[in-house]
Amino acid sequence: MMIEARGLVRTFKTKRGPVQAVQGVDLDVADGEIVGFLGPNGAGKTTTMRMLATLIQPTAGIATVAGCDLAKDPVGVRRGIGYVPQSGSTLPEAIAGDEVVDHARLYGVPKAKATAEGQRLFEELDLPGLWRRQCKTLSGGQRRRLDIVMGLIHDPKLIFLDEPTTGLDPQARANLWEHIRGLRDRGATIFLTTHYLDEADALCDRILVIDHGKIVAAGTPENLKQQVSGDAVRLSIADTSQAPAVMKIVRELEGAVEVETEDAVVGFRIPRGGSVLPGLLRSIDAQGIELHGVEVHRPTLDDVFLTMTGRSLRDEDATGTEEKKESAA
């Protein structure tokens, strides 16, 4: 196990009294996995990651990270991990290569080796010719990749990435995903936080869904989606008055749930929707009912989140931003 945490709790003191940001998190990450921590803003993702990276002390709980005990040997943990924070890790005025080499030297890497390794990582992470450039002259995507170079320079076995693609354009995001997969292929274990469903889905071997400081679901993306009761099917009927007849046919299907109608659309959920569809369409046709269209949606991680918490991750995200604005005002 690369990470083994039990009962992690973190309480922050605020003016309004103590706030439990993380309320008893257990988690296991195996060697060579990409594990994603998915949840809305303020769910406790970053706080948990900062505890595991020795940046803040847990209020309660124990953890072993990269083979070292978090409480007894934080320096050992630091040696084994790379941490790529959300906020960046280089000074805008500094020279990119200098920042990388100095960072490596704080890990005890000799200067010459740090330079060679840094320049190799610059090539690998698609930053050619930027070694002597001032950090502030790099694009958002380049700076994020520079942060990753900073996190990788001492060749850690475990890499923490905090919201790695936030603020990047779609192309830079897809490009960064490729690089992150590449790290795993080299044998590193990756633990990342994200509030993007597509990112968790595309990138992670396993997902931990966190909400209000607690893990509410864990599994592979496919696994989690299967926990949601089936695919969403929507039938658009040509003649609205025939909707009740369609509803009746749908209700007779085995496993169909959440059968609802809205004007000329009948919607429901059913496991393996694609394979049910041919038979269903034949029955509808046999009664002389004409359809305008059929849609089948595989469940998304948002459906998972909705099922687990009763709220949509997207909605939560929106309200989270509003709250932030309020507190800033």
Partner 1 sequence: MTVLRETWIVFHRQMRLSLRNPMWSILMLSQPLMYLFLFGPLLKPITAQISEGATTNAYQVFIPGLIVQLGMFGAMFVGFGLIAEYRAGVIEADRVTPASRIALMAGRVLRDVVVLVVQSVLLLLAALPLGLRAPWAGVLLSLVIVALLGATFASLSYSVALITKSEDALAPLLNGIAMPLLLLSGILLPMQIGPTWLQRLSDISPLKHVVNGVRALFRGDISSSSSLWGLFWVVLLTVIGLAVGARTFRKESA
Whole-angstrom distance, CA of residue 237 vs CA of residue 289: 8
H/E run at residue 304: helix 301-309
Q: How far is the CB of 9 from partner 1 (least distance, A)?
A: 15
Query: Cβ of 280: how many Cβ atoms within 10 Å?
Result: 20
Spell out where 30-171 has E strands. Answer: 34-38, 60-65, 68-69, 81-84, 158-162
Cα–Cα distance measured from residue 329 to residue 240, given in angstroms and rounded to the nearest whole number? 49
- Closest to partner 1 by CB, 85 or 299: 85
CB of 89 to partner 1, least distance (A): 4
Q: Please, which residue, 85 or 273, has the CB nearer to partner 1?
A: 85
Looking at beta carbons only, is 141 or 299 nearer to partner 1? 141
Report CA Rg, the chain.
Answer: 24
Catalog residues that contact partner 1 under the rule CB under 8 A.
Answer: 53-57, 75, 78-79, 81, 83, 85, 87-94, 98, 102-103, 105-108, 147, 150
The CA-based angle 177-299-197, given to 5 degrees, is 30
Task: For the CB of residue 104, give the shortest distance to partner 1 in the complex, in Å.
Answer: 9
Residue 158 Cβ, how far from partner 1 at the closest point, in Å? 12
Measured from the Cβ of residue 270, the count of other Cβ atoms closer than 10 Å reads 24
Between 108 and 187, name the residue whose CB sits nearer to partner 1: 108
Q: Which is nearer to partner 1, 45 or 78 (CB)?
A: 78
Q: How far is the CB of 93 from partner 1 (least distance, A)?
A: 6
DSSP 196: -
